[in-house]
Chains A and B, each alone.
Chain A
Amino acid sequence: MEWEVVIGIETHTQLKTESKIFSGASTNFGSEPNAHACLVSLAYPGVLPVLNKEAVNCAIRFGLAVDAKIAEHSIFARKNYFYPDLPKGYQISQFELPVVGEGSLSISLGDENKSIRILRAHLEEDAGKSVHGIEDGKSGIDLNRAGTPLLEIVTEPDMSSAEEAVAYAKKLHELVQWIGICDGNMQEGNFRCDVNVSVKKKGDKKLGTRREIKNLNSFKFIKQAVDYEVNWQIERLEDGGTIKQSTILFDPDSGETREMRSKEEANDYRYFPDPDLLPLVISQEKINTIKSEMYELPSQMKLKLVKEFGLSNYDADGITSNIDVANYFRELLSFKVSAKLASNWILTNLFSRLNEFNIGIKNSPLKASKLAELILRIEDKTISNNAAKKVFEEIWDQDERVDDVIEKLGLKQISNVNEIENILNQVLQDNEAMIEEYKSGKDKAFNALIGQVMKASKGKANPGQVSQLLKDKLTD
């Protein structure tokens, strides 16, 4: 039997604000437990929430980035349940009227693009953390994270494989960093996905029963968990079993998923509008202001790179894969280097070096200004592309000037016609046999002759000029 896989994703994105969503406490990660547990975080009697406007701005930026409707009027609601790391006994979230409405995000699958529909995105506060095993039989509560702002981004069930789920998650991960609303640190849990998976018989209109894999915080785990879950569901259905709607956890050690709670055991959250907070009202003026302050989006930049700068689809994807790469590229262009050369040098030489040392481009020892100097030397024909690679190796982590290195290595290209002609004449004299071969129709001989000239010039002759001169000579 053939099966179709249906996947929808809910992503909890921690917003990059200085303070928590409803109080002035810091959102710093890695402090002593409860160092940022203010009276509001602790839910002391009488305290009240005050909305952090920066979190709202982040939501608006996201809405604009996925071309979504931004609600003029949205409501904060209380989600009621008891848990020790939830100090108020309710989480402030948005339920019926979220701040961001329907939008979409385009993902690349090889050469194909697919649009994933965004259903909604809403603001909410994070819970604290239970810490077990500090003392025998006792657990501790750390409320540093309680109240940090989250944007929960929910898709329609538009993905149909683990690969698509990962492609979406990666794309979203890039986007939220690009627009500066999330630092994207997945190890610290700042970007975590709940993945809803179901399967149905090929062609069936009705969706199958879904199971929700909670809290996946790496792309690898998303892939593994979805693959495992899809197989599990198909096997079960093919064995004549049924799927029960439930929440499940993925265990990276065993590579398996296991049930946390079924739908029947799920809480009745008793959502209702939070009377401590007024409806969130966002004016068109506010949206316009934020729009005018936003940088170009990756999709817009990619389009420009392909259409205006003639980059390939693949290279344009590479340059727009994250904001730091794009910024490095932009800086290179500010030195008036060609976009094609700039993109080539980033995506090949620079990337291979950075990967080798596991360094992010933001911390590259080779600054864009210096790489630009090098590229300019190729463009003004001072050195050849091959010579430039040698210079690159010298300057990549050294504090040396590009021109000094060219001088030191004697890589300056010979572009003087007379000088090249002298070398060329000598080579032609010494290789009469090759000339004959060329004249009898063997094109290979032409390249061999160029090779000889380059060799004789110790690689410094300008290959373009050599080729032109040789052609002229042989047709004389």
Chain B
Amino acid sequence: MINLSLKKLSEGLKQKKFSSVELTQFFLNRLDLHNPSINAFITIDKDKSLAMAKRSDEMIKEGNQDYLTGIPIAQKDIFCAEGWKTSCGSKMLDNFIAPYDSTVISKFNAVGAVNLGKTNMDEFAMGSSNETSFYGYVKNPWDIKTVPGGSSGGSAAAVAGRLAPAATATDTGGSIRQPASLCGLTGLKPTYGLVSRYGMIAFASSLDQAGPMCNTAEDCAAMMNVMSGHDPKDSTSIQREKENYLTGINDPIKGVKIGVPKEFFSEGLEPEIEKIIEQGINEYKKLGAEIVEISLPNNHLSIPVYYVIAPAEASSNLSRYDGVRYGYRTKEYDDLMEMYCKTREEGFGDEVKRRIMIGTYVLSAGYYDAYYLKAQKIRRLISEDFKKAFENCDVILGPSAPSVAFPIGDKKEDPLKMYMQDVYTISTNLAGLPGLSMPAGLMNKLPVGIQLIGNYFSEAKLLNIANIFQMNTDWHNLSPEEF
């Protein structure tokens, strides 16, 4: 059952080679075996998972089998799931049992997928290494001395370590694509507004977007078929007809125009990674793609712009954690102000506090115009860059991250170095575009990812272009040795 695609698992269930309960139990056993060493999960609840599996087996018996029915999926601990602890990687929500299902969770429930457990993550999705989690570091299955990337590090490590067939994740500045790159997986951040944010704990509302983290593009397409769709509970959710992402996944890509931005190959990128990306480009040439050079002249402004806008929104989004209604509250206090201060001082970790402070600062009277407003203006310029670029190409190709998985502790004390991890991914969040990362090679036995960026709502095309690459290469079939 290990290393089977979602399609094969689905066929196995249909042909009664195994039941959902057996499949779920198999992965729960793998969790028992490997989770203690990689710490990919915050919450595992075997009874709940097996009860869901039983229900899924009933559905299959009744002939109600959908693509993902009966398949265990690891859920990032950012999605509220009724009755499950939903911590968002924070001490602040360590005691929070969600009283409702996020839209993403209820969509998986509706098709009879099994919730395998809640995966570890950087606290409130703020981090690129999974070192800011209240629940401890997640280790990269490819080398447990290195980080899995972040913030969706738990989901990435779970799928890479074959502890789950697939996982959900979220991406605010690269939190799907960078860990996918560091863990040798295929991860898709959809167009902003394609997947509902309802019930997904907010970090930066105008940037947050949920997506799948899987072994292959085809698996991602199957996940997207469940996750996407308009939701009246999310005002920023887009009203458009639901697509089937599997339909055109095998379409020929001959003649597709791939744009390569010169700004993605400047200083800061490991030369060996650059070489791997070039090999990828050559592979696409062989497959009939046309390669054009393009420019994203404002890309270098993405990180500073992001670190104004995202913290600004976060500082406001995280105000609700005040100890009054749910979550952590400090033990001893004499008055309201002390209760607020101590609750937030004790409940939040350093990175979260750092961003709340930055965000509060950039929104303050006298600084708003110079920081927040200016950042919004540059954000529009960055979107314009992409608009122009897509006049000359169908899809943009570049690296997903500037490095491979780095040692735990390596960048923890240097936030600016850490923030550079998202240098290739952040601009797509700022523009609201879809981006995908897929494995394209190894450097020092660690995975390297290629990123594909598409125009708005071009997920089907991105998955198709990635799938054709995967049909002709083997990088996505590699898995870490000890798992």
Binding site for B on A (CB under 8 A): 39, 42-51, 78, 80, 82, 84, 87-90, 141, 268, 270-272, 275-278
Q: Chain B residues with Cβ under 8 A from A270's Cβ?
A: 315-316, 360, 363-365, 368
Q: List residues of chain A with CB within 8 A of the CB of B96.
A: 45
Alpha-carbon separation in the docked complex, A229 to B337 (Å): 32
User: Which listed segment binds A: B50-58, B196-204, B274-282, B444-452?
Assistant: B196-204
Contact of A47 among B93, B199, B312, B340 (CB under 8 A): B199
Contact in complex: A46, B324 (CB < 8 Å): no
Residue from the list A84, A272, A278 in contact with B372, Cβ < 8 A: A272
Complexed CA–CA distance, A363 and B40 (Å)? 68
A456 to chain B, nearest CB (A): 80
Residues of A close to B327: CB separation below 8 A? 45
Decide: A80 and B319 in contact? CB cutoff 8 A.
yes
Q: Does B88 contact A (CB under 8 A)?
A: yes
CB distance from A40 to the nearest CB of B (A): 9
In contact, B202 and A80 (Cβ under 8 angstroms): no
A45 B198 Cβ-Cβ under 8 A: no
- B392 located at the interface, meaning its Cβ lies under 8 Å from any Cβ of chain A in the complex: no
Closest partner residue, chain B, to A267 (CB atom): B365
Judge whether B320 is part of the interface by a CB distance below 8 angstroms.
yes
Not counting A43-B325, A80-B319, a sample of 5 additional A-B residue pairs whose C-beta atoms are within 8 angstroms of each other reads A46-B200, A89-B322, A90-B319, A268-B365, A270-B364
Which residues from chain A contact B325 at a C-beta distance below 8 Å?
Answer: 42-43, 87, 141
Q: Is B86 an interface residue (CB 8 A)?
A: yes
A193 to chain B, nearest CB (A): 26
Which 9 A/B pairs are nearest by Cβ-Cβ distance? A89-B319, A275-B206, A270-B363, A275-B205, A46-B199, A43-B320, A45-B201, A46-B80, A268-B365
Instruction: With A50-B232, A82-B319, A270-B364 as known contacts, state yes or no: A275 contacts B324, CB within 8 Å.
Output: no
Cβ B320 vs Cβ A84 within 8 A:
no
Contacts of A276 in B (CB 8 A): 202, 205, 235-236
Interface assignment of B336: CB less than 8 Å from any CB of chain A: yes
Closest residue of A by beta carbon distance from B312: A272
Cα of A45 to Cα of B320 in the assembled complex, Å = 8
Whether A275 contacts B313 in the complex (CB less than 8 A), given A45-B86, A87-B325, comes out as yes
CA distance A270 to B363 in the complex (A): 5
- Per-residue contact bits, chain B 195-237, to A (CB 8 Å; 1 contact, 0 not): 0011111101110000000000000000000000000111110
- In this assembly, does B152 line the interface, its C-beta being within 8 Å of a C-beta of chain A? no
* Chain A minimum-CB-distance residue to B197: A48
Cα–Cα distance between A262 and B322 once the two chains are bound (Å):
26
Q: Nearest chain B CB to A142's CB is how many angstroms away?
A: 12
Q: B residues 300-335 with Cβ under 8 Å of A?
A: 312-313, 315-316, 318-320, 322, 324-327
- Closest approach, in angstroms, between the C-beta of A276 and any C-beta of chain B? 5
Are the CB atoms of A268 and B324 closer together than 8 Å?
no
Chain A residue at smallest Cβ distance from B376: A273
A39-B100, A84-B336, A89-B316 are known contacts. Are A272 and B235 too (CB-CB below 8 A)?
no
What is the bound-complex CA distance between A90 and B205, given in angstroms?
Answer: 14
Minimal Cβ-Cβ distance residue in B for A42: B325
Within the complex, what minimum Cβ distance (angstroms) separates B333 from chain A? 12
CB pair A45 B324 closer than 8 Å: no
The winner among A42, A45, A270 for most chain B CB atoms within 10 A is A45
**Which chain B residue has the least Cβ–Cβ distance from A269?**
B365
Question: A51 and B235 in contact (CB under 8 A), knowing A46-B80, A46-B198?
Answer: yes
Q: In chain A, what residue has the closest Cβ to B326?
A: A44
Chain B residues whose C-beta falls within 8 Å of the C-beta of A78 in the assembled complex? 316
**Residue B288 lies at the interface, judged by CB distance under 8 Å to chain A:** no
For residue B186, CB closer than 8 A to chain A, the reply is: no
CA distance A78 to B202 in the complex (A): 15
Taking a contact as CB atoms under 8 Å apart, the answer to whether B235 and A39 are in contact is: no
**Chain B residues positioned under 8 Å from A277 (CB to CB):** 235-236
The residue of chain A having its C-beta at the shortest distance from the C-beta of B372 within the complex is A272
A87–B340 CB distance below 8 A: no
Residue B24 interfacial (CB < 8 Å): no
List 22 A-B residue pairs with CB atoms under 8 Å apart, sorted by A's residue number. A42-B326, A45-B88, A45-B202, A46-B79, A46-B102, A46-B199, A47-B198, A47-B199, A48-B198, A50-B232, A51-B235, A84-B322, A84-B324, A88-B320, A89-B318, A90-B319, A141-B325, A270-B360, A270-B365, A271-B363, A272-B363, A272-B372
Contacts of B320 in A (CB 8 A): 43, 45, 87-89
A46 CA / B77 CA spacing, docked (Å)? 12
Interface contact B316-A80, CB-CB below 8 Å: yes
Asked if B415 CB lies within 8 Å of chain A CBs, one says no
For B319, the chain A residues whose CB sits under 8 A away are 80, 82, 88-90
How far apart are the CA atoms of A163 and B309 in the complex, in Å? 48
Q: Which of A42, A82, A272, A275 contacts B368 (CB 8 A)?
A: A272
Interface core residue of B200, B233, B234 (most chain A CB under 10 Å):
B233
Contacts of B98 in A (CB 8 A): 45-46
A149 to chain B, nearest CB (A): 16
Among A48, A84, A268, max chain B CB count under 10 A is at: A48
Nearest chain A residue, comparing its CB with the CB of B202: A46
Q: Is the CB of B205 within 8 A of A80?
A: no
- Could you list which residues of chain B lie within 8 angstroms of chain A, going by C-beta atoms? 79-80, 86, 88, 93, 96, 98-100, 102, 197-202, 204-206, 232-236, 312-313, 315-316, 318-320, 322, 324-327, 336, 340, 360, 363-365, 368, 372
A47 to B234, CA, bound (A): 9
Cross-chain contact B236 with A278 (CB below 8 angstroms): yes
A contact residues around B322 at 8 Å (CB)? 82, 84, 89
- B15 CB, min distance to chain A CBs, angstroms: 38
Q: How far is the CA of A80 from the CA of B319 in the complex (A)?
A: 8
A253 vs B235: C-alpha distance in the bound complex, in angstroms? 46
Q: Is the CB of B364 within 8 A of A268?
A: yes
Chain B contacts for A80, CB-based, 8 A: 315-316, 319, 363
- Cα distance, A270 to B236, chains bound together (Å): 22
Q: In the bound complex, how far is the Cα of B319 from the Cα of A89, in angstroms?
A: 5
Compute how far the CA of A271 lies from the CA of B315 in the bound complex, rounded to whole angstroms. 12
**Which A residues touch B360, using CB under 8 A?**
270
Tell me whether A45 and B316 are in contact in the complex, defined as CB-CB below 8 angstroms, given that A50-B235, A87-B325, A272-B372 are known contacts. Answer: no
A89 contacts which chain B residues (CB < 8 A)?
Answer: 316, 318-320, 322
Give the distance in Å from the alpha carbon of A78 to the alpha carbon of B79 in the complex. Answer: 24
> Which chain A residues border B80 with CB–CB below 8 Å?
44-46
Nearest neighbor of A85 in chain B, beta-carbon distance: B324
Contacts of A45 in B (CB 8 A): 80, 86, 88, 93, 96, 98, 201-202, 320, 326-327
CA distance A284 to B164 in the complex (A): 53
Partner of B99, one of A44, A268, A275: A44
In the assembled complex, which residues on chain A have CB atoms less than 8 Å from the CB atom of B232? 50
CA distance A104 to B424 in the complex (A): 53
Give bound CA distance, A329 to B232, whole Å: 44
Q: Report the Cα distance A43→B201, complex, angstroms.
A: 11
Q: Give Cα distance in the complex from A78 to B100, angstroms.
A: 25
Cα-based distance from A44 to B88 in the complex (angstroms)? 13
Report the Cα distance A270→B356, complex, angstroms.
Answer: 13
Chain A residues with CB below 8 A from B99, complex form: 39, 44
Report the Cα distance A47→B233, complex, angstroms.
Answer: 8
Cβ–Cβ < 8 Å partners of A141 in chain B = 324-325
Give Cα A48–Cα B208 distance, bound, in whole angstroms. Answer: 13
Closest chain-B Cβ to A238's Cβ sits at a distance in Å of 34
On chain B, the residues within 8 Å of A272 by CB distance are 312, 316, 363, 368, 372
Nearest B residue to A24 via CB reads: B233
User: Which B residues touch A49, using CB under 8 A?
Assistant: 235
Q: How many angstroms between the C-alpha atoms of A78 and B363 in the bound complex? A: 11
Task: Give the docked Cα–Cα distance between A210 and B315 (Å).
Answer: 32
Which listed residue (B198, B233, B235, B368) contacts A278, Cβ 8 A? Answer: B235
A305 to B146, CA, bound (A): 84
Bound CA span A78–B360, Å: 13
Bound Cα distance A85, B226 (Å): 38
Give chain B residues whose Cβ lies under 8 Å from the Cβ of A88.
319-320
> Looking at the complex, which one of A48, A82, A90, A268 makes contact with B234 (CB distance below 8 Å)?
A48
Residues of B within 8 A of A82 (CB): 319, 322, 340
The complex places the Cα of A416 from the Cα of B70 at a distance, in Å, of: 98
Q: Which residues of chain A have C-beta atoms less than 8 A from B236's C-beta?
A: 275-278
